[in-house]
Amino acid sequence: MSNDITYDAVRTDFIEKTGLITQAEGLPRIAGRVFGMLIFDGEVVSFGDLATKLQVSRASISTSIRILEERGLVKRVTKPGERQDFFQLAPNPYATMLERIHKRNRSIQADIAETIRSLPANSEALGRLNAHANFYASLDAAVAVALSELDTSRNTSAMLQPTAPKDYADDA
């Protein structure tokens, strides 16, 4: 097929962009590329293939996978008769990401509340600190809404599972 080149370009582009996005979220770029590759390809991907196709060292794959596993975004699986480890997206990675944000937000809110509690009741700063707390509270509420929305459409989560193997050309 002549448009395989285009297809691969789109794929590589998506993977690179995902790497940049997650980098801005505080993840190493390679971890983001692994995540992007798993989203795009869907299939279960072997450790070796990750290193080869992304053209990075096995050590980088190892640490990236560790981070992604810790965050609950990726699952390690094995295949009978195969010695390598394989990886796929965790069941609902997006909900997991939101949970994480949620948790962090609540931690921040607790810190601010602690600050407020430690101040004298007539402190001039209370108004601004309450506004500050309110910001994180409403942000948190919004995340909770998004989370419930994601759960609602979880029937759609079947989309996330790896499906029939298809042969993409030999990446870029």
Q: Between 51 and 90, how does the x/- string for binding to a second copy read (CB under 8 A)?
A: --------------------------------------x-
Site string for DNA, 109-148 (x = CB under 7 A): ----------------------------------------
Determine contact, residues 143/109, Cβ cutoff 8 Å: no
- 3-class SS shares of the chain: helix, strand, coil, % to 5: 65, 5, 25
Q: How far apart are CA 135 and CA 113, in angstroms?
A: 12
Is 47 an interacting residue with respect to DNA (CB under 7 A)? Answer: yes
- Contact segment (CB under 8 A) with a second copy among 46-54, 55-63, 73-81, 137-145 equals 137-145
Distances (CA, A) of 166 to 41, 50, 78: 9, 17, 20
* Pair 135, 105: CB distance under 8 Å: no
CB 15 within 8 Å of CB 40: yes
Binding range to a second copy, per CB under 8 A, among 53-61, 65-73, 74-82, 153-161: 153-161
CB distance 34 to 64 below 8 Å: yes
Amino acid at 53: K
The residue ranges that bind a second copy (CB under 8 A) are: 3, 6-7, 10, 13-14, 17, 21, 24, 26, 39-42, 89, 94, 97-98, 108, 111-113, 115-132, 134-135, 138-139, 141-143, 145-146, 149-150, 153, 156-157, 159-160, 163-168, 170-172
